[in-house]
Chain A
Amino acid sequence: MLPQRVARLRRLALIGLAGALAVAMSACASERGSGNSATDTFVFGAAGAPKNFDPIFNDDGESFRPARQMFDTLVTYKAGTTQLEGALATAWTPSADGKSWTFALRQGVKFHDGTPFDAAAVCFNFDRWYNMKGAAAQSQMIYYGDVFEGFAKNEGDATGEPVYKSCEAKDDHTAVVNLNTAKGAFPDAFGLTSLSISSPDALKKYNADAVTQSGDSFAYPAYATDHPTGTGPYKFESFDKTNNTITLVRNDDYWGEKAKTAKLIFKIIPDENARKQELAAGTIDGYDFPNPADYSSLQNSGDKVLIRPAFNILYLGINQKNNPKLTDVRVRQAIEYAINRDQLAKNKLPTGAYAQDQFLPNNVPGYTQSVQKFGYDPAKAKQLLADAGATGLTLNFYVPTEVTRPYMPNPVDIGAAVADDLKAAGFTVNVVQEPWNGGYKDDVQKAGKQDIHLLGWTGDYADAGNFIGTFFGRQKAEFGFNNPQIFSAISNADAQVNPADKAKAYEQAGVLISQYVPAVPLTSSPPAIVVKSNVNGLTPSPLTDERFYTVSKG
């Protein structure tokens, strides 16, 4: 037929084959010397990509993890605890009325771009946040909005009166932050990763405030994408989007103990199983939030499963707005009676998880045994439901998918178990699932489309206000109730500067909340972080605030 063409093809194929063989053989022969980098690089498997690298514009763990390695805050939390210790500030003192905080700053600290860290830099950062312009930028400053309540000019979601007033640099190493109102959240809140101190030079140079929004997608300035500049133990090198890896390198001028590994790489692996298998294969040295199902197999293969103290809460939210029957406290109590929380904690959550009767983990001041308790009692739930004339009440139950959180490793299964309990007590349950990142949070927290829903919270610092204040401190679309008594009890507690008074006031608020049943607390559970057996020096933090500069590989 076409002999010459075929012959040519055959020749080509032969050449190709020979080439491939040669390549394979030479590849085997020449292993590049990489023995050194093996112990000098710590590779950590991340579950998702950070939104950006400017801490102030972030509010999720995946974004905070790299930020915590590159930035410092004024105060920080002692490794493995929720107690405060000095970071960029060596001492911090409030004024008598709690409206002014004086920070004595650490000397000789330099930002990654070589500029000095001083009081002017601190004030520059505080003023930058307070004066942030544009709805897009403000809407991304979730934590700032929560703590400081308002901006110089509110353009986004924050509508409150600003707590922040001014910042003055008394001298190079003394900064004073003045507030309009005292807040119990301070000084702990100064340690929030979001409030990390950036280099003023870099902020200006890379136009750090220029955030733009188009629908769900935000475009961040060069500072946040390519040039984050802090004082931390690691410096930013690159974010390789093709391979989904973030590379940080050691900051040799770090003010504290220098990082033990020269390189820190975050490899983004969205799939939980893939993270586990990469750890087994040794292509990563650790990853966060292993599935509780894997604890024993990980331990059996010699990996270190480091369990953090439980510092979170999973709750079943109740939205009273859409369903008039839910405004009847008996119906809400029936929901609480119906759920077998001990069973849930045991079946679906890791060892160490416990059933909850209030919205605070037991290691936060304000936790109290005097809350009203509603143990598992389906008969009583049925009775209450009948009394309220609501037997067979239909509840639209929103459950998130495509997500694992420290407080709920498997929301879909947890939701199914809860729905089962509710059905057994005489409710009709209509489960609505939505992807966590595909509208769930907005639907339940902003639009309030649900009757009941699953959600939770990991504490940022040891302050009851960070938990119950966040949930029930004001009227929210998520819960759809207006109970001035609870709101004022919480704001009263938040204004207490003395820790003992604060704890007492929060205990009182906790009792009020337990009687009102605005939602059902389910469980608190200890999330884990896992590393290979040769990894040392990682201290698990209840706040999930792990610093990797102390980590070494043997």
Chain B
Amino acid sequence: MTKLLTRKAERIDELAESGGTSLAKDAMRRMLHSPVAIIGAVITILFVVLAIISPFIAPKDPYVRYDELRANLTPSHIPGPMPGFLLGSDQNGMDFFSRLLVGSQQTLLVGVGATIIGASVGMVIGGVAGAFGGATDTVLMRLTDILLALPSLLLAISIAALFAHGTQWTVIIAVSVVSVPIFARLLRGSMLAQRSSDHVLAATALGVKRRTIVFRHMLPNSLGPVIVQATLTLATAILEAAALSFLGLGDSDPDRAEWGLMLAKAQGLLDVKPELAFYPAIAIIIVALGFTLLGESLREALDPKNRR
């Protein structure tokens, strides 16, 4: 179609043409030599580990209003650090430190949830288009391209607006819709690229069934690009979820310990206790950066142009 589309789509197509499990080792080697990749991987691993263990290491229950904290809590004074409460109170008398820790889990949940849903739906669409080709392909891809070119936040907003009451799932679904066209185009591109590749041609010549070729050969080989894209999507999903919270379209549970929500709720408290906004913001920035660094270096490592 038009230039604009191709520009945004180009990156996806480039990614789609890369990959192949045989090259994974090669890519891995390159990754280990890149400091950027290592930083990204370290941040990502730390974040994921933290998200998993945070409920066990959090010193306090993040969802309890503590009398010790509430004793001195007024709207214009939020207690700072005190024994047992490393970072003091949040605006509701809950333990801010524990909430920050557990926030990693909720944030990861939103990011991963949105990415998994987006990737699954997108891959089904892309897979169907790629496997069937012809008119199915044309129609699906046309639709995908148009969605792809719409501003993602606007798309997420319009989906979130469909729900009368916001929940965590509202956010996950709204954000996942944004990534559906990306994964659809990615998988289709990757399958098309393989159609003419040697191993698929060989399999076809040997009379292997189409279904077997798709599931045994093509899909596994598309895994690399999909993982790269999923890593990048995790970063944008977390940022978009935060934006939805800011616009009042997010999760409506005011107590939920999720970084985006915590940040959005603390906008008005910069004069009272700026940490309430700054710490979740910094956490989001670091994590988004980590996923982006990892994703970009994976992409570069898989890029055939960089192979020597």
Contact = CB atoms under 8 A, between A and B. Distances in A.
- Say if the two chains contact directly (CB < 8 Å): yes
Contacts of A347: 70, 73-75, 92-93
A296 B77 contact: yes
A48 interface: no
A292 B76 contact: yes
B166 interface: yes
Interface string A398-409: 000110000001
A350 interface: yes
A201 interface: no
Contact of B253 (A291, A295, A431, A435): A431
Nearest to A296: B76
Interface string A86-108: 00000000000000000000000
Nearest to A299: B76
Interface in B214-231: none
Contacts of B255: 416, 420
A272 B268 contact: yes
Interface string B75-86: 111000000000
Interface string B236-264: 00000000000010001111000000000
Judged by DSSP, the binding face of A is helix
Contacts of B93: 347
B75 A273 contact: no
A155 to B, nearest CB: 31
A415 B76 contact: no
With a 10 A CB-CB cut-off, give which of B70, B75, B164, B255 has the most chain A CB atoms. Answer: B75
Most chain B CB inside 10 Å of its own CB: which residue of A292, A347, A409: A347
A437 to B, nearest CB: 12
Interface string A404-426: 00000110110111001000000
A343 B70 contact: yes
Contacts of A417: 65, 92
Contact of B75 (A292, A412, A433): A292
Nearest to A347: B73
Contacts of A416: 92, 254-255
Given A293-B75, A415-B254, A431-B252, 9 more contacts: A292-B74, A293-B76, A346-B73, A346-B74, A347-B93, A349-B75, A402-B248, A410-B75, A417-B92
Interface of B: 65, 70, 73-77, 91-93, 164-166, 248, 252-255, 267-272
29 contacts: A272-B268, A273-B268, A273-B270, A291-B268, A292-B74, A292-B76, A293-B75, A293-B268, A293-B271, A294-B272, A296-B76, A296-B77, A297-B76, A297-B272, A343-B70, A346-B70, A346-B73, A346-B74, A347-B74, A347-B92, A348-B75, A402-B248, A409-B75, A413-B91, A413-B92, A417-B65, A431-B253, A433-B165, A435-B248
